[in-house]
Copies of this chain bind each other. A is one copy, B any other.
Amino acid sequence: MQRAKVVGTLWLSSAIEDIRGFKILILKDLSSSKGGYFLAVDTVQAGVGDEVFTVSGSAARQSEATKNSVSDTAIVAIIDRVNEENI
């Protein structure tokens, strides 16, 4: 599970049926200090600039919206507030 910021969108062609119609967003990882980029299927109508919460692996296909997809990473919530202590 990761915290990430939405930074872009991907449009697919020649997609197999199991991924057609899904919105694929480009995310910047906020969980690690490395700050890499990754892709996720959107299930919560996220938009560029939103801070989102993602799940990976087979977990990404446990939701009603993605259960028949080929997704391996999904946005499952918008992040509302973060409280982090420096311990």
Q: Which residues of A does B touch, CB under 8 Å? A: 1-3, 5, 7-19, 24, 26, 31-34, 36-41, 43-45, 48-49, 53, 55-65, 68-74, 76-87
Among residues of B, the one whose C-beta sits closest to the C-beta of A37 is B31
User: Of B12, B36, B37, B45, which contacts A53 at CB under 8 A?
Assistant: B12
A83 to B57 CA separation, bound complex (whole angstroms): 25
A75 to B30 CA separation, bound complex (whole angstroms): 20
Q: Which of A9, A11, A18, A26 has the most CB of B within 10 A?
A: A18
Among residues of B, the one whose C-beta sits closest to the C-beta of A8 is B84
CB distance from A52 to the nearest CB of B (A): 9
CB distance from A16 to the nearest CB of B (A): 5
